[in-house]
Amino acid sequence: MRRTVGIVFVLLLAAFAGTVLISQQAPQQQGQQPPTATSPLAQQGGPPITQRVSEVDLVLAVVNRRQKFVTDLERGDFKVMEDNQPQEIKFFSQQTDLPLRVGLLLDTSNSIRSRLQFEKDAADDFLYDVLRPEKDLAFLMTFDSDPAVVQDFTSDLDALRNAVDRQHAGGGTALYDAMIKASDKLARAPMAKGVKTDVRRVLVVISDGDDNESNSMKSDAIDAAQRAGVVVYTISTSTDWIVPEESKDIRKQMDRKFAYTDGDKVLQAFTEGTGGRPFYPYHVEDVAQSFMSIVTELRSQYLLGYSPSNAIADGRFRKIRIEIPGHKELDVRTRKGYFAIPVSSGGQTPTSPSDH
């Protein structure tokens, strides 16, 4: 009798095991994936834990065909598209007055030796024009073969000026590594004090765009800036302006390049990916004007916020397009998108890649 019961128990156990095996294999036979550790089935009925993107903030500038800033637009003039889906604008303000967190990234490699002194003078003027005491902070990072922070975040203009003036040229160029390090530093910048702690993260890169010693690639540098929510402005130090032979007699009157070097294209890629702007000064005196143009743009912008219809923070890159219906002559400068990073990633908020 006991033997018979034992045999029956073994047969029932085998049948049950076969049923479980078939139920687990069936989804795979139908081209589906088996339950994962984060699926509801794997959690014994518990729902998966997700984090949500609450708000995306964008700083943007608008220019007309003459490249003049347009500063009198209203909320209703703008249309926001995320991954080709329209979004409802929740917040809008003109000429945003958020505190600045500025990184000044100065190329001190041997290739810019002849222009270094004037660039240092122009950088001093820029810092004095853009930084507001008790509100804005800036740091100075230099790079040749290696990037180095020579002055940490401060509002002390004299400390920044002295740090700039101490620099000398020499060595190779590790631009991409420096971009990544500067973007990471801006991502961890001190927040503003008070109820609203948002800041705008700006990186000004002064370089010829060449790189011969980085361990990273150009795409890595752009990704780092996008993830940190950094707007990049570049000032080219290249003097290699390529013009037709018959145009050399009007070279001094040129206000644009006829052709761009590979380094120029690198600098342009940095700005296009982050909503900034490249500058290509030909005469050394034009460097100061490039800095002043950045100051003007920073004071001629809009702040726009929306809650994305796709609210799940899945870590993916979301493409953003800002339109001004009925005004095709206007051009909007802003970042191309943001990474929907969960709160737990590096301690930042889901919307940190879209911060200012």
User: Can you give the pLDDT at residue 317?
Assistant: 92
Work out the pLDDT band at 67, boundaries 50, 70, 90: confident
Q: Dihedral of the CA atoms 277, 70, 189, 317 (nearest 10)?
A: -70
Output the pTM of the full model: 0.75
- β-sheet bridge partners, residue 338: 318
- What average pLDDT does the segment 296-311 reach? 90
The mean per-residue pLDDT over the stretch 41-54 comes to 48
Cα 333 to Cα 330: distance, rounded to the nearest angstrom: 10
**Domain 103-298, second-level architecture:** 3-Layer(aba) Sandwich (3.40)
pLDDT at 170: 84
Distance CA 159, CA 140 (A): 10
Residue whose tokens read 């060595």: 171
Read off the pLDDT of residues 193-223 as tens digits, 9 standing for 90 and up.
876 778 899 999 999 899 999 999 999 999 9
What is the percentage of the chain residues whose pLDDT exceeds 90? 44
Give the integer Cα–Cα distance in Å for 312 and 320: 16
- Domain boundaries along the sequence of the chain: 1-49, 56-95+302-354, 103-298
- φ and ψ at 265, to 5 degrees? -70, -35
70-108 pLDDT per residue, tens: 999 999 999 999 999 999 999 998 877 789 999 999 999
Q: Which of 124-128, 152-156, 268-272 has the lowest mean pLDDT?
A: 124-128
